[in-house]
Homo-oligomer: A and B are copies of this chain.
Amino acid sequence: MNSFLSERAKNTGRSAIREILKYTQEPEVISFAGGLPKPDTFPREGLAESAARQIRDNYQNSLQYGTTEGIEEFRQEMATWLSEFGLDLELDNIIATNSSQQAIDLVCKAFLDPGDLVFCGLPTYLGAVQAFSTFQAEKVGVPLEKDGMNMEILEKKIQESKSAGKKAKFIYVIPDFQNPAGVTLSKQKRRKIFDLAEEHDLLIIEDTPYFGVRFSGDFKKPIGTYDVSGRVITITSLSKILSSGMRLAVVAGPSELLANLVTMKQSTDLCTSTTTQLIAADWLKNNSLSEHLKELRKYYKENRDAMIEEMKRSFPEDERISWTEPNGGLFIWVTLPENVDAELVFEKGLERKVAFVPGHHFYVNDGGQNTMRLSYSLLTPERIREGINRLGEVLENVLSPVSQ
């Protein structure tokens, strides 16, 4: 039946991480592999109340189809929240989508023809890479530094693509606590990326799902706040802060660009669930998201602290080993000595009942063989310490001359 497949489908692989996760399901395995948030951090009591109220009393709207743009109350609540961070949004500058992943899909659908160029980080979010592949785009990777993409390389790659006569469409960037690397784009680089997009007439797709999960460091304004010419699309999601299961995200940006996403969304799924939009809007109206986030951040911060403390204690003393210390989000990125293959560490780790994702999966080229992504989101500090301890032993073994 493969004769029916589109070129697009032939170009799309299944997520390698999902395959890895299958190996890490055994209860004895301490897994830092997944990237799921902790459902205990979501306000289940309040959401249950909002759900019962909206379904029972507002059924004319919550059980009915809605507009493709999304329910006004929900978009308004989200616009109000985003205004705290400098995004000044009218109602036609914000639409609801069925998750950030759908927002990325719609962006690709609206803007990418086969062969078009997309610039993204090295490493970067795998779900975005999959979408770029599905829409047969050419992915151009730009190495990350501690404060985000290397700007010289980005500029050089843009110029090269121009010289080669290629059609470059957008820069995809995860500015805050990037998945997988945990790094945050500096204020200077936010400005610089916008200036480069202006100079070379590119769109910017700013994807910031961990925005609300900041527990230290200075707040940095979204790139969307620099947008004077209508070229920045900012995607943010409730999946890490209110509920992943409700599949709610919003896309903020210039109305002209959003109109194209709405047209694409009509034939994609008509509208985002009005049930979940109205549950979220009801909760946001009756509760303080800021107060809620204080608790949630405390949870993740404790876990991050436990992981970093234990890494300092248990990882081999070797200056060629380094890791990021994120101010938010769910991930720490470890760089091993260049000659160490993280796939080997992964194999040895499974024997020792500890798991992570080898970092090369997040690369759009052949890089990252000596890197690992560790998530601290789902475990208790005790389990995190135990797992890092095991991983430290594995690293000692792999690095020791005897095993080489």
Contacts and interface: CB of A to CB of B under 8 A. Distances in A.
A51 B46 CA distance: 12
**How many copies of this chain does the complex contain?**
2
A169 B6 CA distance: 10
Interface in A113-159: 113, 116, 127, 130-131, 133-135
A91 interface: no
Interface stretch (A173-181, A265-273, A313-321, A364-372): A265-273
Nearest to A56: B48
Contacts of A267: 12, 101, 105, 127, 130-131, 133-134
Contact of A5 (B12, B111, B254): B111
Contacts of A299: none
Interface string A242-271: 011111000000101100100110111111
A93 interface: no
Contact of A101 (B4, B260, B270): B270
B56 A39 contact: no
Interface in A215-257: 230-231, 239, 243-247, 254, 256-257
A260 B99 CA distance: 21
Interface of A is mostly: helix
Interface string A47-65: 1110111011001111111
Contacts of A13: 263
Given A39-B59, A273-B247, A260 B64 contact: no
Contacts of A78: none
A64 B244 contact: yes
A2 B55 CA distance: 40
Contact of A99 (B12, B127, B254, B270): B270
Contacts of A172: none
Interface string A102-113: 100100011111
A12 B243 contact: no
A302 B135 CA distance: 47
A44 B170 CA distance: 44
A257 B2 CA distance: 9
A120 to B, nearest CB: 14
A203 interface: yes
Contacts of A257: 1, 4
Contacts of A59: 39-40, 42, 44
Contact of A169 (B4, B37, B48, B272): B4
A279 B273 CA distance: 13
Interface string A1-40: 1011111110011110010000000000000000011011
A4 B239 CA distance: 29
B4 A105 contact: no
Nearest to A113: B6
Contact of A269 (B14, B170, B247): B247
B247 A110 contact: no
A44 B55 contact: yes
A337 interface: no
A275 B283 CA distance: 15
Contacts of A203: 4
Contact of A4 (B5, B44, B111): B111
A276 interface: yes
15 contacts: A3-B201, A6-B110, A6-B116, A9-B110, A40-B59, A44-B63, A63-B244, A64-B244, A101-B269, A127-B267, A133-B267, A134-B264, A246-B273, A247-B275, A268-B268
